[in-house]
Chains A and B, each alone.
Chain A
Amino acid sequence: MTVTDSILQGNRLSLSRLLTQVENNSPEGRAALAELFPHTGKAHLIGVTGAPGTGKSSLVNQLTLYYRKEHASRKRVAIIAVDPSSPFTGGAVLGDRVRMRDLSGDDGVFIRSMATRGSVGGLAQTTAALVQVFDAAGYEIIIIETVGAGQSEVDIARLAHTTIVVEAPGLGDEIQAIKAGILEIADVLVVNKADRPGVENTERALRSTLELAHPTKRIFRHHGQAMTIESPETDATLWIPPIIKTISTDGTGIPELAHSIAKHKAHLHQSGDWAARDRARLRSEMEALLQNQLMDRFLDEVQKKIYDETIEKVYNRGLSPYEAVKYLLNGK
């Protein structure tokens, strides 16, 4: 039996080993990925991002518990938890499993920890490929937890269908500026640790930022009464991220979160965004690979001596990086 067959039949050891090969970008991994690719495209990809310490892992734990226990369909859930690699040694301590111990013993859940291995943007270079393996293996929900993200770790929005941005009270005031960046990618906003003081302030700050970000939804005050005016044409394409308050240590707010995720999925299908996001994701994935391969091919072809001389000129401020690239590509 081939690796592909045994994965399609649900063999967890084969799955796990293939994940390693894909992560290491081995030829075997790439070959299996090619065979599995026609089986992908069915899973709902949910991204979970937010600053360190907002409770992403605990939230993923509770959400998965909910999908497995409360939800009638008992969907199979794969979790990819990304943590940073050390920029100096390349090593990593991957600790997200510590918060996910409630999920052990359930063979409808598969948790895989992943180190970024030098990649920036909140994900590892091969995270998208790992998602494809889980998708082909029949996991209906794939949750991708990014590294503790700040301003620019927005790669997740390109990968996931539904992006959840997790905030917590007490972080809000100092990170207002950051929020504007990361808020843009949120499909669902979560204020976790809602039992902590200051939760109303965080919620209010988020709501006002959201209103600025989505001026298409106009709220008027008319004789003291709030009237929302929505034009029917834009209704189907407009999604206002809901704000959900949760306490991920005891599961408060999790059913509401799951409900919002389901609503967002329905919205994506209805508006045609599901297919659009799928296409955008595959395109950016292909282009990233193309970029790497072009770089490899270029380095193969260019004479090392010329390359080294050119970069030396850049070091000495004799040539700008821009001119250097032009020279290397055109020979002048």
Chain B
Amino acid sequence: MTEKKIRVLVAKPGLDGHDRGAKVVARALRDAGMEVIYTGLRQTPEMIAEAALQEDVDVVGLSILSGAHMALAPRILELLKANGQEGVCVFIGGIIPDEDMPRLREMGITGIYGPGASTEDIIKDFREAVK
């Protein structure tokens, strides 16, 4: 009856307190018809994996500006897998140096967005990923 809604968890792991970007993306995804679960600042990888499990999301969007992505991303991927959610697509937005990108992709991160990324691209990629 109802079409399948794309459910997205937007989370900010780590200690930086700047969530403007995460909110802009959350709003854009909402306007694209997705259901966005917003968790707020300073989430641990455990909290993010738990929320992803309880909310049965299709996509997790991480906003990381602190530089800790090489520590946080693998931990989150590992926890998702441990919960049986290896099918969930994980995206990262934030300040990610070029040299880290291939390694993040290898780990299983689906997409990475830096400053100036267009929300249209993000929406398109999310839709593509959950097909």
B38 touches A112 (CB 8 A): no
**With A16-B56, A20-B56, A89-B32 in contact, is A94–B50 under 8 Å at CB?**
no
B51 touches A93 (CB 8 A): no
A113 touches B40 (CB 8 A): no
Tell me the complex Cα distance, A111–B51, Å.
8
Closest to A11 in B: B84
Confirm or deny: A115 has a beta carbon within 8 angstroms of a beta carbon on chain B.
yes
Against B, the Cβ 8 Å flags (1 = close, 0 = not) of A102-113 are: 001100001111
**With A24-B4, A86-B31 in contact, is A94–B47 under 8 Å at CB?**
no
B33 touches A89 (CB 8 A): yes
Tell me the complex Cα distance, A19–B35, Å.
15
Interface size on B, residues (CB 8 A): 31
Against A, the Cβ 8 Å flags (1 = close, 0 = not) of B24-37 are: 00110111111111
Tell me the complex Cα distance, A112–B51, Å.
9
A117 to chain B, nearest CB (A): 7
Closest to A79 in B: B54
Confirm or deny: A13 has a beta carbon within 8 angstroms of a beta carbon on chain B.
yes
Confirm or deny: B120 has a beta carbon within 8 angstroms of a beta carbon on chain A.
no
Q: In the assembled complex, which residues on chain B have CB atoms less than 8 Å from the CB atom of A86?
A: 30-31
B84 touches A13 (CB 8 A): yes
Tell me the complex Cα distance, A24–B51, Å.
19
A130 to chain B, nearest CB (A): 12
B53 touches A13 (CB 8 A): yes
Confirm or deny: A97 has a beta carbon within 8 angstroms of a beta carbon on chain B.
yes
Confirm or deny: B119 has a beta carbon within 8 angstroms of a beta carbon on chain A.
no
Q: In the assembled complex, which residues on chain B have CB atoms less than 8 Å from the CB atom of A85?
A: 35
Tell me the complex Cα distance, A92–B83, Å.
26
Tell me the complex Cα distance, A113–B52, Å.
11
B11 to chain A, nearest CB (A): 10
Against B, the Cβ 8 Å flags (1 = close, 0 = not) of A3-29 are: 000000000110011011000110000
Q: In the assembled complex, which residues on chain A have CB atoms less than 8 Å from the CB atom of B85?
A: 13
Q: In the assembled complex, which residues on chain B have CB atoms less than 8 Å from the CB atom of A304?
A: none
A91 touches B54 (CB 8 A): no
Q: In the assembled complex, which residues on chain B have CB atoms less than 8 Å from the CB atom of A12?
A: 53-54, 83
Against A, the Cβ 8 Å flags (1 = close, 0 = not) of B1-23 are: 11011010000000000000000
Confirm or deny: A52 has a beta carbon within 8 angstroms of a beta carbon on chain B.
no
Confirm or deny: A229 has a beta carbon within 8 angstroms of a beta carbon on chain B.
no
A112 touches B54 (CB 8 A): yes
Pick the contact of A94 from B1, B36, B53, B84 — CB < 8 Å? B36
A90 touches B50 (CB 8 A): no
A92 touches B55 (CB 8 A): no
Q: In the assembled complex, which residues on chain B have CB atoms less than 8 Å from the CB atom of A332?
A: none
Tell me the complex Cα distance, A56–B128, Å.
36
Confirm or deny: B39 has a beta carbon within 8 angstroms of a beta carbon on chain A.
yes
A104 touches B51 (CB 8 A): yes
Confirm or deny: B46 has a beta carbon within 8 angstroms of a beta carbon on chain A.
yes
A28 to chain B, nearest CB (A): 12
A104 touches B55 (CB 8 A): no
Sorted nearest first, the 8 A-B pairs with minimum C-beta distance are A98-B40, A91-B30, A16-B56, A104-B47, A20-B56, A91-B33, A95-B38, A90-B33
B interface with A by C-beta (< 8 Å)? 1-2, 4-5, 7, 26-27, 29-40, 43, 46-47, 50-51, 53-56, 83-85
17 contacts between A and B (CB under 8 A): A13-B83, A16-B53, A17-B56, A25-B1, A86-B31, A91-B33, A93-B38, A94-B35, A98-B39, A101-B40, A101-B47, A104-B46, A104-B50, A105-B46, A113-B35, A113-B55, A115-B35
